[in-house]
Structure 1
């Protein structure tokens, strides 16, 4: 079983035709390459870009563009997104004005407005188990760590719309006597934070739960370490820190990430919940691993949603499309938002910051199984426990991990 969790287990020694062989073939035929070649064409194009063979990469991108579509099958849709990302990367490299290229790349990567991005996030939460799996499992770890406490304080980094918290509020309200609950939440949009706090406060009031919400605005250019000094800690409260799909954004500077984790550790949380992609930091030689990760994501959407699902289209093009473009096109640039790492590296960083892994309970696993069975009935989704943490996989390709630390 352990071997199935190494996303680098593809056969690197398998002999493959050189990139120029594919370009030579496409020059002498007008037919679109068969699907079995498209994946290799993408890899070849990435190799050409990494070698700075830009004219050859441009010709291959033209072939890939005619071989893909955002409305085709899962392979065609995946190729479309990666081709777009490689094209952006190529434009960045070919532009003689680096500042202008960086600005154009940043503008393209952020072309979807905030309303569309927020809408695609809500669709992602509805049509895939990824968000719910991470949040439900993290909630269970928080509930177990704070059992019997009279006052609970949750520090949530990037709360988004707060969809994680109503189930936890309900579970806390059912305790006797119910404890007080306070959430300190960070976010980049003041209005979204306000609306999120209002919704959670109304829901808590309907449950008879004593509840407070404290928003903290985290600007895009602000060091997350600085905002921790604004967090009000009370000696009578039990602190839980939630980092669901957040820490990967800090990978740009691993030293600052370590300082951030050490700062969190100094706050003495009862539990730190971490959930993120099980995907390595993108480097050109690891292009195959990024491709494998998103191929599994797109296959899962293909298997669980109708062919013409507008929600799937939004999730693929806006949410995952932005991730792919940022990982591939923004590689090495200061404008890059998305960086990822395997769980084993996350675990090493957390231990280096002084944290110890807390095993997730059997009930957390049972809850995750129930979630998949009731809402996403597909045999392709799998749950595995490895190193006291829980993984969600699609056809043995690990996609997301959730772990609990103290």
Structure 2
């Protein structure tokens, strides 16, 4: 149901920061080592679109065991680490499906909810209680909350509202206007008692556009499709895939709602949703295509998780001469250039061999190409390296004997955004975990989306997804121009298809089912996995990436227990956690 809980304006915090090409050298700064980036480096890493240069004995990307010992003699505050990092666990900005989390935590496998047999019995209830709390936290520093009748209202003094703030504002306006009549378009166009002085014309337009989206989603939930179409016509008229972040996110959600209506009314076949572009998505994700490289280089989240996670692998293999990394979803493999450059500077324990095994079920030729790029990169560093592809038709066919394990090597497992894809197929998920447990790696590093897109209740799923993707579109606005072709591909191919699946699909066809770290904790515990503390060095690496992207007022690195949560303007984006077996 839509209620004021969805749009409670808990204090929105603005922090974060990120990176361009690749980390180049260690310089003395503030009495200690500090990583810098060098876009002028001499040698270009083949196929990856990143720069590197020959590293001296005192330079490196990640902190080796020796460098970590040096850090112990330097005040951590000198790195801006303890003072700047925010170690707090903020309550979720949106209502989550607690019953779902509880049920998932009790089940023997991570099995998604079954869809209700009669969704018509789940209307959206517009509960408008606690109206005094709807704008709680909006008077935040540079904003004045004042309304013509003395009630709270938003006036922006020094900065633009974020996408999340506009969506929350629109949600509160929609709830209040809906208490009178939600069917009248003019009511939403001119909500009573609201005079938002100080908003720009674009922000005002965006807020009204988001109201139409909320109204259309409510009508879809009621299965009042004719009424929903009226609001969607307004969304189609005012939204744009080249406009503001709000206009862009509404464009894709409106499109998904129309597809849901078509499916519900039988205008399109109920089967096959999300199939038309899945091959294209796989091809782009696994290649070194311009959109993928742009996503890595220009948006902070990927590098932030990679540097912190690979630092954890460096630490847990510090005294190993043979290192074997099993990557369950290697994609274009650029993350392993970070590890290679760290190992190339490890003089206290020279490396005899770095072995990387990539697991795949499709597109073997792309995995082979990834291996060739990594081999070329390793040769430029004179690093002993081998690469192997393990191809299986289905993840349930994964076996320990496929990995050619050596008793003298230290094994680490790396999983980035892979486990979530198997939530609809728990037998695959269980198969992977059993194999990983039998291998017993020294560490397993896991990066996952930090969002709840697995609710069986349409409105819960819709609102969660809207705010999550709204934050992501907001981030793209910060780092990429509106007409950037790579941004267009990222938004349409990656985000658009995910939105389409979350909103329009039901039952087994709904394959995008992200869950939060609490659900993964309950799941991993069943296999005897123990969450491992991320070291100060890992958090230091994350903080350096944050500083490099120069957006500390937009991003936070929050800690949820031992897990690091990457946040964009108050909205959790992804989690990084490290695990061992008991």
Q: Same fold (TM over 0.5)?
A: yes
- Aligned residue for 2:373? 199
Shift of 1:111: 8.0
Q: Which moved more, 1:173-182 or 1:37-46?
A: 37-46
Residues 317 and 28 of structure 1: CA distance in aligned 2, closer, same or farther (over 3 Å)? closer
- Aligned residue for 1:232? 404
- Aligned residue for 2:117? none
In the TM superposition, 1:6-405 aligns within 5 A as: 6-8=92-94, 14=128, 16=175, 17-18=177-178, 21-25=181-185, 34-95=205-266, 100-103=269-272, 105-110=273-278, 112=280, 118=287, 119=289, 120-175=291-346, 176-187=349-360, 188-219=362-393, 222=394, 224-229=395-400, 230-254=402-426, 256-283=428-455, 284-286=458-460, 287-334=462-509, 336-405=510-579
Shift of 1:125: 1.0
Shift of 1:309: 2.8
Partners of 2:250 and 2:234 in 1: CA distance? 11
Segments of structure 2 that go 5 or more residues without pairing to the other structure are: 1-86, 97-125, 130-174, 191-201
Q: Which moved more, 1:258-267 or 1:67-76?
A: 258-267
Partners of 2:227 and 2:407 in 1: CA distance? 63
RMSD: 2.8
Partners of 2:89 and 2:338 in 1: CA distance? 35
Shift of 1:251: 0.8
Say which structure is richer in helix. 1
Answer 1 or 2: higher relative contact order, Cα 8 Å, separation at least 6.
2
Partners of 2:230 and 2:553 in 1: CA distance? 40
Q: Give the structure-1-normalised TM-score.
A: 0.88
Partners of 2:281 and 2:342 in 1: CA distance? 35
Whether contact under 8 Å (2:417, 2:449) holds in the other structure is yes
Shift of 1:126: 1.9
Partners of 2:376 and 2:303 in 1: CA distance? 22
Deviations 1:22-81 (A, max 9, x none): 443269989x99432333433333333333333333333222211210011110011011
Q: Give the structure-2-normalised TM-score.
A: 0.63
SS in 1 for 2:507: coil
- Asked which structure has the greater CA Rg, the reply is 2
Partners of 2:279 and 2:321 in 1: CA distance? 46
SS in 1 for 2:525: helix
Segments of structure 1 that go 5 or more residues without pairing to the other structure are: none
Residues 329 and 231 of structure 1: CA distance in aligned 2, closer, same or farther (over 3 Å)? farther
